[in-house]
Structure 1
């Protein structure tokens, strides 16, 4: 099975490590401002623009030329202009202050209030209040990435006291209605191992096997968002990433919320910290939800999530996966797609 896939994969991933490192260079395209080109053209004379139609109209109504046609319609044109002027006169005569519905200016503060604001005690208190408001706004403001914090999804106070089994059931139920969603509850210790490797190797490639077509390679990248205490993984088809670099659009986004990693120390049921994972598979990107689930499983396996499973043989395989991860990150020539496929196929 592996031998049948290797030729196509070699062609797809040739010089892959060097290409991925070089793909961070921006690719610039020359863009013309269509609005500028359209608005800077010289306007054509209206009479010249419609001369052919006016000539045809004059002949149809038995007039010798356009001037004769204009004379025949002079009264009608004059009345139409009067009606138009009557409608537009209020708008032409309006000033900016009358076009908008003005609100009355706030009344000036009374002398007593002005004197109080300049007193030493007031000057000392005002910055403190302002600082408190700024701090509150900072805490309530959304992340620049647009990612919703976990506190907007769950009641963290209640979630921190629930047993893991009950919290897992609630988290899965929350995502059950969306067929293109992914979710998982990861033990805190497991995710800590994954995150440590991710910070050292934030980029990697993973295969998705297709029985009819061999396998398709996907590029992944870790990012971190301190405001939401989350770590997000973006999955993109490797061909898309090689073509567009950092401008490539991911097909799947998986976010890990770390708010409950220490919940066992905050009244939970004894050191049972967890990381809540949720993801979304975008439609019309050529990737099915089952393919995305496979990628998440591979992600966990190659980033140490399954270390220690399988006894001595499992330790040997975990070490081999870690070497592949590090070789890819360093651009080491010992990294090969064949070895990557072998490790991925052991999951099947």
Structure 2
């Protein structure tokens, strides 16, 4: 009787790892996709006048320096007059998306407060916002530039025949120190009205007989001894600004909404005025932060520091 031989197939373990390569690759791709999916994200719509450097999947939404979303899709609005930016926003900041929330594009620019957005030269423009306090909202009319915030302080107006180079956002200077801002202007048929605000710490300098002039550009004075050149602060050379001075015999403090006249030209004598008006004692750092002088003096030595007498002189 003949016996049939049976073939025995043995698995070779050294080839099993070849099947693991594609499986592992699929797992890695799935992990990357999963990590990039928005976690409980919120979709909102922003409307801009133009795209202005915005790019899908690249332009970020930042809030206080933290990335909280990104630009998902760009398209024209229904009326074809604006650009609609569909944003994907983290759920963590959804509570800030309310009526009154303002969105704007951050990009490199030179203004009266300095050079801003310099980091976007490499990363490109990004979008940021200031939170509102109304009802929840998912569609917003965005701004092209950062809004001018009105802080606490006395508001007043300046009447001028021409706008010249003055714009909202320009600084108000006293002895070339920024003490306030221009936040708006209004056109009338025969004049321009500028709206300004001075910081609370400095509003005591503003008197009924204060004089105002545009602080911008180069000034040449030719005389027998040659030519002298005076310049405004660097930032006011670039974007304008307004200076004011108060006489030694200063007038009364002014109330909210008081109107001054913007002089056509400044007078050199105004810069020499030294009114004895007491201010709160502050040391201003380069960053603009203010500190009480005593904070710079060790407590063991403060008893020997003389404080000038305050009062009207």
Q: What's the TM-score bracket when you normalise by the shorter of the two chains?
A: under 0.3
Larger relative helix fraction: 1
Larger relative strand fraction: 2
Determine which structure has greater relative contact order: mean sequence separation of CA pairs < 8 Å that are 6+ residues apart, divided by chain length.
Answer: 1
With normalisation by structure 1, the TM-score equals 0.21
- Greater Rg by CA: 1
